[in-house]
Amino acid sequence: MDYKKIYESWLNDKRLCAEGRQQLEAIRDNEEEIEYSFGAEMQFGTAGMRGIIGYGTNKMNIYTVMRATEGLAAFIKKLGPAAMERGVVISYDTRLKSDEFARASADVLAANNIKAYLFGDVHPVPMLSFAVRQLHTIAGIMVTASHNPKQYNGYKVYGEDGAQMSPEDTAVVVESIEKVTDFLGSPAPTAEQVKKYIKPVPASVDRKYYKALTKLTLSKKAVKACGKNLKLVYTPVHGSGYIPVTTILKKIGINATVVQEQTKKDTDFSTVQVPNPEFKETLSMGIALAQKIGATVVFGTDPDSDRLGVAVKNAEGEFEALTGNQVGILLLDYILTRLKEDNAMPANPAVVKSFVTTGMAKPICQNFGVELFEVPVGFKFIGEKIKQWEADGSHHFVFGFEESCGYLRGTHARDKDAVVASMLCAEMVCYYTYKGTTVFDRLNEIYKKYGYVLDCNVSIQYKGLNAMAEMNAVVDGLKTAKVNKLDIYEIASVRDYSKDEKTDLATGEVTPIGSPKTNCVYYELKTGSFVCVRPSGTEPKLKIYYSVKANNKDDAEAALKKLQAAVEELLKKVAAD
């Protein structure tokens, strides 16, 4: 059906809510907006769905959310009565309509005679993941758009292990969603079904979560000596991290000064341009407070509190926003150092990172005798490693991280956990304060010991209904492009993750990567650096990752400029061909 006809069918449907009718009437003369809203359907991928809030088949609204939940309900019903009784736990963050979408999801499940555990207030991603595991539900739903701008919301589905749903199960759910052709026809539960099937998440789940985190502390002596008087600033950036982060810090005895203006659940995120704490601008109020009280570290969490951003005071007294890679290597180094100092390193220790995450992880792990594993982008792949090792006992998970500010220590959750990362960050500040140094000084010591690595990623924004297809076409073009050098830097091998193949350019030998397939091209340079190009799975952006190994910062920055210019030319050539 033509998008104009779909638009008219929604507008003329008596089941459409008053708000929806008003918004659709307002765009009647806006052809471009009608096409965007109805020219496609929300894509449900391995990370769920995410989009701009509004009415239409291609936007986040109560109807697209209920339709997605109908698909999930059909999947669960096929698993049988036991799965329906185990049910689904549902959480949500502070975004616009998150609570409404969560309740609508619970209603659809109840109408299908499936139990739904609904949190009574905002809870972050890691606590949702933990609750799935604690309550032994068959699935979980998290309503969030993570760190996206305020105009967005999203819907993520978790499997029974607490990790984001596997690609195999997601494919079945998508098939069920596609069979729901009446967007406005989701069934409403009876009063009896609501009473029988919609249950609150027990308060004991929160208590057990905090207890699990306290077992992961590494520096009790340093915390006892420095924790109460620590000068550390935290901001939840109006998100769901406020209660859990301040609660866990209080429980382990660390004082953090909170940016009070950003504790409010503000759906407009009015004090920041974008609620993404990896940007220095997002942490600006925290930095101003840190300068006022004499703190050297500022950290913040995003709306669903699965990402942690950190800024530290440098040698010149200015605050620098650390990249996700830098925070990752600091936490990795800290965790391994403390485990070694306390003779607490487990047998067969293992660290997991995404393949686009810093090359610095490899020498650090080698130094500590810890095995490093690489997985595709998406924390569910880190969760799969944990699940595998719990089953076969081959390795002991120590730490997992991604360059996109996602970190996990412990196996209590199977997704990024900015609450445990905040705890470790604060504890790390205590540890270095106790030793008479700073986090910034330790970062420079790491560079001095292992060599300088400059990590950078660039995003190219795409727009329109064909954005995803256009981005994938660029990556497909790179697979067939003949390239041996990027500027003066020779390429040692090329990885095509869509085929699970690595080609050695010197010998022509093709070997398997040993990784789940994803559309991505990765260039390994002879210098030990790498460049990687992939389409984002959650936003219309083509992402280019650089990890540049050099003798020092100046050399690395010079090399990065050359590589960026070379990649820009390569992308132009691919587009022209």
Q: What angle do CA 49, 55, 56 make, to 5 degrees?
A: 70
Q: Is residue 532 a contact partner of residue 522, using CB atoms and an 8 Å limit?
A: yes
The CA radius of gyration of the chain, in Å to the nearest whole number, is 24
Beta-bridge partner residues of 296: none
Count other Cβ atoms within 10 Å, centred on residue 195: 11
Q: What CA–CA distance (Å, rounded) separates 337 from 346?
A: 13
Place of tokens 């340079």: 525
Catalytic residue list contains 9: no
* Distance separating alpha carbons of residues 451 and 546, to the nearest angstrom: 16
Place of tokens 């490093």: 372
CA-nearest of 121, 49, 115, 110 to 86 is 115
Give the residue from 440, 448, 418, 421 showing the smallest Cα distance to 335: 421
Which tokens sit at 294? 């004499």
Q: Measured between alpha carbons, how far is 142 from 145 in angstroms, rounded to an integer?
A: 9
Q: Using alpha carbons, list the distances in angstroms from residue 560 to 87, 227, 338, 420, 483.
A: 50, 40, 33, 33, 18
Inter-axis angle of helices 62-79 and 167-178, to 10 degrees? 120
* Burial class (CB within 10 angstroms; exposed 0-12, middle 13-18, buried 19+) of 461: exposed
Structure tokens at 77: 């019903």
546: left (phi over 0), alpha (psi -120 to 50) or beta: beta
How many Å apart are CA 166 and CA 158, to the nearest integer?
A: 8
CB atoms within 10 A of CB 371: 15
Instruction: State whether residue 507 is helix, strand or coil.
Output: coil
Strand partners, 397: 350
Query: Which residue is catalytic, options 37, 105, 146, 186?
Result: 146
Do the beta carbons of residue 308 and residue 277 sit within 8 Å? yes
d(CA 36, CA 44): 17
Nearest 5°: phi and psi at 216?
-100, 5
Report the C-alpha gap between 280 and 275 in whole angstroms: 11
- Sign for the pseudo-dihedral over CA of 50, 56, 62, 68: negative
Token reading at 424: 């470790």
Active-site annotation, residues: 146
